[in-house]
Structure 1
Amino acid sequence: EHALITIMATSGTTTTFAIKAITVQRIYYNYPVTHVNGILFISVMHLLAFSIAGILKRYLVWPASMIWPKTLMSCCLMRTLNIENQTETTKTRWTMSRSKFFWLVVLFQFLWYWFPGYIFPLLSMFSFICMIAPHNIVFSQITGANGLGLGVLQFDWNACVSFFDSPILVPFWAHVNLFVGFIIVIWILTPIIYYTNTWDSKKMPIISNRHFDINGNFYDPVKVLNKDLHLNETAYAIYGGIRMTAGQAIRHGFMFAAFSAAIMHTILYHVLGVPIDIFSSLVLPGNPIGFLTLRAFTHSCQYQIIPPRITFCMLLICPIVAGIVQYITAIYLLNHVPNICTHENPSWKCLYVETLYTSSIIWGAIGFVKTFGISSIYSPLLFGLLLGLVLPIISWFLWKKFPNIKWLAFIHVPIIFVTTNNIPPAPAGEYTTWFLVGFIFNFILYRYAHAWWEKYAYVFSAAMSCGVAICGFIIFFMLQNNNIEFPEWWGTGGPTRDGCPLEIANYSGYVVTG
């Protein structure tokens, strides 16, 4: 019963892509949907996801090799709370029960989260190195959390897992591949592109989840769209194409490489990916609303799985209920939170929504051909497709040629390329602490305190998230929802919330605000 309730609840806890699409349409395109259409749209996304997952469960759920780490954490928690005595079969010197450990960690996290979640927001993204010289533009761009994130630390579990889930659930070999990709993209290629002023990068911030015009201001898609929100070729010719930050450009190049690398890796090792954005851009050129709708459909199909048959009825009902609740919640927030999803309200910046809006411009309004075609300044990024085909072959050849070198078997080129797919919306500073936690748990503790790791690691991850959820619920509904904000002070981190205001400035120190 506990497991079924958990499945029912979790089937509707994640914000659906449909909600984000509806939010983008309303805020940025002034294209609100009716309540009936909105609820139906969200419910269809859920039901379609479970339907496709049901078709694919023979391949994605039943095989023993198809391990879903996040599900393992939930299973560990439920066993801890219900049948711990029956599962404690291994003798270990760690005598504290999992349930006691769980509740102690929940209590600790509940008390601690008052600081990063309300009193001391700077702890969520602490750019402590940047504070040495916060008025130095280059230094801020390199060390700021929203810049290259060098030396940024997080003391907030919620911030650490907000974009990538728990690092404890990711095996260490994957952490290494991800970290290598991060270093190559963010700490090597991005500064090279930016500080050599390739593609006029210095007119823009070094990394941003927005696109810009030729003068370095935010790109305004309204200037190139008709009243029916389709591309106006004449207006586009006058206004010009988009300009991407150095970080965004390299990210797209690696995205192309990840696609071709996944295909080659499929042939050599067995993994597959789908280039949804490219497909939707080619099928629906110059149509941002169509792009948002198609992307919502495809994302729902890709990332959902269904549990066994006995939960079918609940999974049929829960998405409908969840869709209605999510839609009502979204409309309530849009109507009652001032300046929501804008930089004027740093507590409600909606980074995922803003990034989706940017994607709707590049893939929907403007289109793939105009942005990355032969005549585009960003056409060299298409060489990423070739790079993605070649590198998996090289890594596979080395693995076969030198079987005694064990670490060669853990090189995963698609993971390396896909590392920064979340930058943006995730700030670069999000990665360093995430990698650090993964290193501590899945290398140090796994290797040198394996009995502790085996007994408590997943329980710790679940307990930290539970503590955040309880405290966050109280903070929002009892305080923030009643406009009771903690007074501004040094610990609130200023407008960027990390104490590094010039990290989002261009090379001249100008911060684009609208």
Structure 2
Amino acid sequence: VAVTIPVSDDPTLPCLTFRFWVLATIFSILAAAVGAFNFLRYNQIALTTFAFILMSYPCGLLMAKILPSWKIGFYWPSDFLFARGTFIGGSLNPGPFNVKEQTLIIVAASTNLGAAYALDILSIQRLFFGPNQNPNNVGWAASLLLLWTTQCLGYSMAGLSRSWLVYPAAMWWPTNLVTANLLHIFHSDLQQEVVRDRLAVFKKITVLALVYELLPQFFAGYLSRISLVCLALGGASGKLGIAADYSPGRGTGVGIVTLDWAGVSQLGPLYTPLWAQMNVLISLMVSSWIFTPLLYVSDFWNAKSYPITSTGTFDNEFRPYDVSRVIDLQTHDLVVAKYDAYSPLMLNPAWAIVYAAGFAALSATLVHVFLFHGQELAEGFRSSRNPESEDVHVKMMRKYPEVPFTWYLATLVIFAALSIFLVEYWNTEFGMRWWGVLLAIAMAFIFLIPTGIILAISNATIGTNIIVELIYGFIDPGKAIANTVFKTYGFNSLHQAHALASDLKLGVYMKIPPKAMFISQFYGTIIGSIVNYAVMDMLIRNVKQIWYFTHHSPLAIDNHWNAQNPPVFYTASLIWGAIGPQRFFSGQYSVLYYGFLVGAIAPVLTWGLHRRFPGSGWNYVNFPIFFQYWGKAQSNGFANCLVSGFAASLTSQFWLKRHHRTWYDKYNYTVSAGLDSGSMFTAIIIYLV
């Protein structure tokens, strides 16, 4: 952080300028429109934070060059006869386009990267749940209220968690260093040698990556997945298919190398700490390359009857589970008699163990953070923090008025009240009662600090969707839509809180006045939610291919509209909501609940070893991360990038950082930004062509 983020600030730089409002509006609309468009498409447009940095910079410079310096605004209160009140407004062109303006533009736009999570609910109601249950298909008022409440509850949580997730120097949020580094390159004085060198390197790496990525992404697709084992053995590696690729039934991805940076970058190898990456990579390698083949060889839980790496659900004859055979096709509620007559849900054993690992990750997170970060937790509760633990950049921010605690508390109360109104007034459509909102918020708060601490120091996300679905499935079984609504409030609110806490830390690095950051985040989210809904509504109404594909119609011919998200979310709503965990995790799968116990015990062992042998590195063994990524190569596309990601991580975070520290400090994050930017632009060009 010290060599990447300048310890300097110019408090005179304007922030919420006319340029900000124009560009933040444009790019928020663009990001939200693309996110909703991608949501209903099979092949998608790749947009990242770097796209908005590189697009907004020339736009800001152009506006600074051509706009007049006229003052616009009004006086409040107005008294034209005797005196004028305070002038509210500013100049169209207050001077050069500055780094604080651009940071706020990026924050507003990035709140809309990817479609809002609640679009899943709205889309499956439109596409799967019939008019008898939802006569109005949840109209625009309820839709917008759902989007706004589920997106904005996280703001209050992020603000209330500042003492733990933003202010401490240890909470450094690795991805922010890449973003902040690039922003400073564009806006720092080019007379400085380090700035000139970084800018030159960024340009060269971006161009080289753009050109090179045409090979794996377009001309030579095989470069994105090369099996060293298969090449060495002259073909498929044995009857187990332990190599090949990671398609269901074809292999576990042993020894696959990718030469596509778009794949390697999934793990963030150039900015994620080495210890965190080792926990991730070891977990993925052990679970995929060793554990899964062993289950298959031993035929554990009839493993040989399933595709070796399948993540789907099956019936007792090992065929894909036909959910339509156990539900009422009008109400989409479970018909117990049909379920008993058909089959219980069955899982590929390797994938079933992933659920146990998910349970273990949650309990391990609570115990690990309590044991290893107890001091940080205690300091966060104290009104006066330890000055030594406070970020130097936070100290520099004291010149700016902080967003009051009451603002965030009021935000929580207002959006919680609106959420309760939503589920009660539209109870027929959403099926959840007021207590579900309060329980979901409570669950989000329970995991807010522990999972946030791990994310802030390691760049590893601990998912809580499993526990949220599990709890509501037990409390209110048989409710498909209600389960998805509860999951959205419980899981997405937490996800939003972490994303916004990361933005707050970026604001600290860039010396953004906290109130300006608060306004930027809210503005981008409110605008983006409207655009999300409008684009989704327009596409579902006018593009019939979306409906054809989701219902497997023979009229489905344009595979570009073979949307993946709604069908997956719909199936999950039936499994966790209609069928419920009490049936899903019964019989032989009841043993999976022991994952909670394993997760609670494992960190105690490493903590004890760390206390007994303090210099031996046991504190770097992070069981929450290890369990979270167990088996995830099956679902997250990590299989193809394990070897290449491991090599990139060792090169950057070990070899360069340890043996070429000067070069690492000067260029590492610049190279990362260049590679990601070039890869992204290649994907956009290929999509448009």
- Normalising by structure 1, what TM-score? 0.81
Cα pair distance change 1:191/1:111, threshold 3 Å: same
Superposed counterparts of 1:99-498, under 5 Å: 99-127=199-227, 129-130=229-230, 138-146=239-247, 147-162=251-266, 164=267, 166-226=268-328, 227-270=330-373, 272-273=450-451, 275-303=467-495, 304-306=499-501, 307=504, 308-330=514-536, 335=543, 356-357=569-570, 359-373=572-586, 376-405=587-616, 407-420=617-630, 422-427=632-637, 428-476=639-687, 478-479=688-689
Correspondence for 2:34: none
Residues in 1 aligned to 2:558 and 2:344: alpha-carbon distance in whole angstroms: 29
1:74, CA displacement in angstroms?
0.8
> 388-397 or 32-41, which moves further after superposition?
32-41
Pair 361,412 (structure 1): closer, same or farther in 2 beyond 3 Å: same
Deviation at 1:252, TM superposition (A): 0.9
Contact 2:186–2:199 (Cα < 8 Å) also in 1: yes
Q: CA deviation at 1:465?
A: 2.1
CA RMSD of aligned residues (A): 3.1
- State the distance in 2 between where 1:28 and 1:367 align: 19
Task: Identify if the C-alpha distance between structure 1 residues 100 and 277 changes in structure 2 by more than 3 Å, giving closer, same or farther.
Answer: same
Deviation, structure 1 residue 185: 1.9
Partners of 1:221 and 1:365 within 8 A in 2 = no
State which of 60, 66, 71 in structure 1 corresponds to 2:171: 66
SS in 2 for 1:378: helix
Q: Tell me the SS of whatever aligns to 1:138.
A: coil
Q: CA deviation at 1:179?
A: 2.1
423-432 or 434-443, which deviates more: 423-432
Superposition deviation, residue 449 in structure 1: 1.8
Structure 1 CA distance, aligned partners of 2:544 and 2:652? 41
Task: Report the residue type matching 1:152 in the other structure.
Answer: I
Separation in 1, partners of 2:545, 2:310: 24
Q: CA deviation at 1:215?
A: 1.8
Which residue does the alignment assign to 1:75?
Answer: 180
SS of corresponding position for 1:150: coil
| Secondary structure of residue in 2 paired with 1:272 | helix
1:377 is displaced (CA, Å) by: 1.4
Deviations 1:458-497 (A, max 9, x none): 1222222222332322322x33xxxxxxxxxxxxxxxxxx
Number of the residue aligned with 1:509: none
Secondary structure of 2:118's counterpart equals helix
Contact 1:210-1:358 within 8 A present in 2 as well: no
Provide the C-alpha distance between the structure 2 equivalents of 1:107 and 1:340, rounded to a whole number of angstroms: 38
**1:311 alignment partner AA:** M
Q: What is the distance in 1 between the residues matched to 2:259 and 2:212?
A: 9
Question: What code does the residue aligned with 1:144 have?
Answer: D
Q: CA deviation at 1:235?
A: 1.2
Could you tell me which residue of structure 2 aligns to residue 507 of structure 1? Answer: none
Alpha-carbon distance, 1:101 to partner: 1.0
Paired position in structure 1 for 2:35: none
Query: Relative to structure 1, is the Cα distance of residues 263 and 314 closer, same or farther in structure 2, using a 3 angstrom cutoff?
Result: closer
Report which stretch shifted further, 78-87 or 143-152.
Answer: 78-87
Separation (CA, whole Å) in 2 of partners of 1:155 and 1:350: 28
Q: Deviations over 1:207-239 (max 9, x none)?
A: 223211122222122221222122221111112
Identical counterparts, % of pairs: 25
1:266 aligned counterpart, secondary structure = helix
Q: Which moved more, 1:101-110 or 1:152-161?
A: 152-161
**Aligned AA for 1:225?**
I
The amino acid that maps onto 2:585 is F
Structure 2: how far apart are the matches of 1:424 and 1:167? 20
CA distance in 2 between partners of 1:398 and 1:426 (Å):
32
Change (3 A) 1:187 1:104: same
- With over 3 angstroms needed to count, the CA separation of the structure-2 counterparts of 1:192 and 1:349, relative to structure 1, is farther
What letter corresponds to residue 291 of structure 1 in structure 2? N
Question: Which region of structure 1 is more displaced relative to structure 2, 359-368 or 241-250?
Answer: 359-368
Following TM superposition, by how much is the alpha carbon of 1:311 offset from its aligned partner in structure 2, in angstroms? 2.4
Q: C-alpha deviations, 1:278-298, integer Å up to 9, x for none?
A: 223223322232222222222
AA aligned to 2:285 is I
1:186 shift after superposition: 1.8
Which of residues 33, 43, 47 is equivalent to 2:152?
Answer: 47
Please say if residues 243 and 254 of structure 2, whose CA atoms lie closer than 8 Å, have aligned partners that are also in contact. yes
The CA deviation at 1:197 is 1.8
1:137-158 Cα deviation digits (max 9, x unpaired): 7353544233311111222222
- Where does residue 98 of structure 2 map in the other structure? none
Q: AA paired with 1:305?
A: L
Deviation of 1:254 (Å):
0.9
Task: Name the count of aligned residue pairs.
Answer: 468
Corresponding letter in the other structure for 1:224: V
Give the match for residue 508 of structure 1. Answer: none
Larger Rg: 2
Quote how far apart the aligned CAs of 1:111 are: 1.7
Shift of 1:128: 5.2
Letter aligned with residue 219 of structure 2: I
Task: Give the TM-score of the pair, scaled to structure 2.
Answer: 0.62
In the superposition, relative to structure 1, how do residues 126 and 60 fare at CA in structure 2: closer, same or farther (>3 Å)?
same
Shift of 1:256: 1.5
**In structure 2, do the counterparts of structure 1 residues 15 and 120 end up closer, same or farther at CA, with 3 Å as the change threshold?**
farther
Distance in 2 (CA, whole Å) between partners of 1:243 and 1:368 is: 13
Inter-CA distance 96–309: structure 2 relative to 1 (3 Å threshold)? closer
Q: CA contact under 8 A between 2:283 and 2:626: conserved in structure 1?
A: yes
What SS does the corresponding residue of 2:344 show, helix, strand or coil? coil
